[in-house]
């Protein structure tokens, strides 16, 4: 575990809103104290960005046993505002991306459509039990590519409960809509309106309805799963509830689920002919809170034989902290065989190994009391993603001397997944700050926002800019220039930093350009004799395989004025 990122909340109660990447807490008492001042959900702000990131309570984390998928995806709301999807680095749970401009967001995940990977989520407004909104799909540059919602239902749009992509690239979502209905048999008027529920399958390119294959329909209030014929809509079979058509080989445990969510047919590891596996989050009631030795909410995997009409429990996972969840919840089977579960009204998520051992137990908010404003953990998913934002990185600074002397620079790039380190440039002339001779420090990326102290530079300069650097040393993007004599306000639109490297001698001769002149276009700390000398300081950090994070120390370049 990243011990440097796991801290006591006692030190944060008055400072958490101004620190870069506070992150993880392991003491429940400290977490509750921090939650009390954050309306139930401990959060943190940043200097270089206006996004809000959660602070998690770590109940358990066995990092050598979790699935190696690099990112965790959440759809969240923050009560009255700041709702949006979030992406977290699964290695240290630092925030990677947040787009907090929506009223509500759910079912955040990565999907493939025609071989292209998209980041998708549902957004819209909701009341108790249902919602109206849209399914949004973004490319790796976070440009909106598909905006999908219900068709032909008057004012009804896509509901928040479901967003699935088929192997054919079509999108399935649930719907709620009103229909005329005679309610006299139950004491109502003859010409009443009944809220009905359904689902649609839509081509994202045209937003037109399609019909393909059969459908597994989960009816939470009836406690049943139904396989529906995709051609004529008749039920092929019913599992669970009063109309159950299957023999339960697990003494009732395979068919007694109730108030369930997130039912899925998944590939079966069994060699039994005609057997399919179904996973679901079995709320098993509407109670949310501690359950001690009478817990009923579980993540459930069932083997269903469609010929013999038998059902048996393959796995069932209860919450390690003895918690029941009466609403929402999700089940994801990972490539390693591990299972990721979101616990709905209980604001947390747990990852289990295939044998049911919990190896990751994180908590987002406090337990108990009234239903929380944020059903944070409806769906929690792990997967891969590459984000290359179309917007530039951000920078801010604390400059007690109105210069780089003893200043701290804060840098972040919302959504970028390939940043390995940050390079800081400083100059008294903002128009030439991108010269490699103005590079004064390099620092490994550390969480969403990296704080870079310039206490060892002995440099007094007015303007600062920063560049995001990949593991291969390439500049991925650069910030604006800020003026430390003017409270860190922007001085120009962009710093124009495109490289850390000086021009090679052959390039300079071929282009007839001197090294000093070419330096205005880019720069490096390497090979510039007589201009600066380097002192290196190392803070060990764990390498993150396969995504450009380097095990490297803080490299400070002390420049001679």
The single residue listed with the structure tokens 């420090």 is: 441
Three-state secondary-structure class, residue 299: strand
Is residue 421 packed enough to be buried (19+ CB in 10 Å), middle (13-18) or exposed (0-12)? buried
pLDDT of residue 508: 46
What CA–CA distances, in Å, run from 182 to 188, 372, 408? 8, 36, 69
Please give the pLDDT value at position 81.
55
β-strands 6-7, 24-25: how paired?
parallel
The CATH number for 56-383, chosen from 3.30.390, 1.10.10, 3.40.720, 2.120.10, is 2.120.10
Nearest CA-CA partner of 48 in 533, 535, 416, 367:
416
The pair phi, psi for residue 13, each rounded to 5°, is -55, -30
Mapping DSSP to helix (H, G, I), strand (E, B) and coil, where does residue 436 land?
A: helix
Distance CA 15, CA 44 (A): 9
Pairing of strands 532-537, 554-559: antiparallel
Tokens 């108030």, residue located: 259
pLDDT at 79: 55
Residue carrying structure tokens 């620092």: 443
Report d(CA 361, CA 192) in Å as an integer. Answer: 47
Q: What is the pLDDT of residue 309?
A: 97
Tally of CB atoms within 10 A around 154:
8
Domain-by-domain residue ranges, the chain?
A: 56-383, 394-559
Alpha carbon 169 to its chain's center: 22
Q: Give me the pLDDT at residue 354, please.
A: 94
Q: Which residues pair with 195 in a beta bridge?
A: 178
Structure-block tokens of residue 106: 């759910």
Closest Cα partner for 478 from 556, 386, 395? 395
Mean pLDDT by groups of 10 residues along the chain of 561 residues: 44 43 80 74 89 91 97 78 87 94 89 96 78 92 94 82 89 88 92 88 78 86 94 94 97 97 86 88 90 90 96 96 90 96 90 97 75 66 98 97 95 98 96 94 95 86 97 96 94 84 61 34 32 29 38 43 40
- The three-state secondary structure class of 510 is helix
C-alpha gyration radius of the chain: 27
**9 and 15 in contact (C-beta within 8 Å)?**
no
505-514 burial code (b ≥16 CB/10 A, e <16): eeebeeeeee
- Residue 360 and residue 57: Cα distance in Å, rounded? 11
pLDDT value at position 159? 83
pTM: 0.85
Q: How many CB atoms lie within 10 A of CB 151?
A: 14
Cα distance between residue 12 and residue 297, in whole Å: 34
How open is the CA angle 7-9-14, to the nearest 5 degrees? Answer: 125
Rounded-to-10 torsion of CA 365, 371, 376, 379: 130
How many Cβ atoms sit within 10 Å of the Cβ of residue 183? 13
Beta bridge partners of 122: 106, 135
pLDDT, position 525: 30
Q: How far is CA 342 from the centre of its chain?
A: 13
Segment (H or E) for 516: helix 515-518
What is the rounded distance in angstroms from the CA atom of residue 401 to the CA atom of residue 139? Answer: 43
């Amino acid at each position: 575990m990243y011990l440097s990122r796991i801290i006591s909340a006692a030190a944060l109660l008055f400072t958490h809103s101004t620190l870069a990447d506070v992150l993880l807490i392991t003491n429940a008492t400290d977490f509750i104290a921090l939650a009390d001042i954050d309306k139930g959900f401990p959060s943190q702000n940043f200097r270089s960005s206006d996004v809000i990131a959660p602070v998690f309570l770590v109940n358990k984390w066995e990092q050598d046993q979790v699935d190696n998928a690099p990112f965790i995806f959440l759809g969240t709301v923050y009560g009255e505002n700041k709702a949006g999807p979030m992406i977290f680095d699964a290695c240290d749970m630092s925030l990677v991306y947040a787009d907090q401009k929506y009223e509500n967001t759910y079912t955040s995940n990565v999907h493939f459509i025609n071989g292209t990977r998209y980041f998708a989520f549902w957004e819209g407004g909701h009341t108790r039990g249902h919602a109206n909104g849209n399914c949004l799909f973004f490319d790796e540059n976070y440009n909106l590519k598909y905006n999908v919602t219900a068709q032909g239902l008057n004012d009804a749009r896509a509901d928040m409960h479901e967003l699935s992509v088929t192997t054919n690239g079509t999108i399935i979502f649930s719907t709620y809509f009103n229909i005329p209905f005679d309610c006299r048999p139950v004491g109502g008027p003859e010409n009443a309106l009944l809220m009905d529920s359904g689902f649609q399958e839509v081509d994202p390119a045209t937003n037109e309805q399609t019909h393909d294959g059969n459908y597994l329909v989960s009816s939470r209030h009836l406690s049943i799963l139904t396989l529906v014929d995709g051609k004529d809509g008749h039920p092929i079979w019913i599992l669970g509830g009063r109309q159950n058509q299957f023999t339960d080989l697990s003494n009732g445990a395979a068919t007694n689920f109730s108030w369930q969510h997130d039912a899925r047919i998944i590939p079966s590891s069994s060699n039994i002919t005609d057997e399919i596996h179904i996973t679901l989050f079995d709320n098993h009631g509407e109670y949310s809170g501690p359950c001690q030795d009478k817990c009923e909410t579980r993540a459930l995997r069932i083997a269903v034989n469609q010929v013999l009409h038998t059902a048996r429990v393959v796995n069932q996972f209860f919450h390690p902290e003895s918690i029941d969840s009466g609403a929402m919840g999700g089940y994801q089977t990972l490539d390693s065989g591990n299972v990721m579960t979101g616990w709905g009204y209980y604001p947390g998520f747990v990852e289990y190994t295939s044998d049911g051992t919990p190896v990751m137990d994180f908590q987002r908010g406090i337990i108990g009391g009234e239903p929380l404003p944020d059903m944070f953990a409806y769906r929690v998913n792990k997967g891969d993603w590459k984000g290359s934002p179309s917007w530039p990185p951000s920078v801010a600074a604390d400059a007690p001397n109105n210069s780089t002397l003893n200043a701290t620079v804060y840098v972040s790039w919302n959504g970028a997944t390939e940043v390995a380190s940050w390079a800081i440039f400083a100059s008294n002339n903002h128009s030439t700050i991108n010269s490699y001779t103005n590079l004064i420090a390099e620092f490994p990326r550390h969480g969403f926002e990296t704080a870079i102290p310039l206490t060892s530079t002995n440099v007094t300069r007015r303007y600062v800019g920063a560049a995001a650097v990949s593991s291969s040393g390439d500049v991925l993007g650069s910030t604006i220039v800020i003026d430390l004599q003017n409270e860190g306000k922007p001085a120009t639109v962009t710093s124009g930093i495109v490289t850390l490297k000086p021009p090679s001698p052959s390039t300079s001769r071929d282009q007839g350009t001197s090294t000093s002149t070419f330096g205005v276009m880019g720069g490096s700390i390497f090979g510039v004799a007589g201009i600066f000398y380097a002192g290196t300081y190392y803070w060990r950090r764990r390498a993150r395989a396969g995504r450009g994070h380097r095990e490297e120390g803080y490299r400070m370049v002390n420049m001679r004025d």
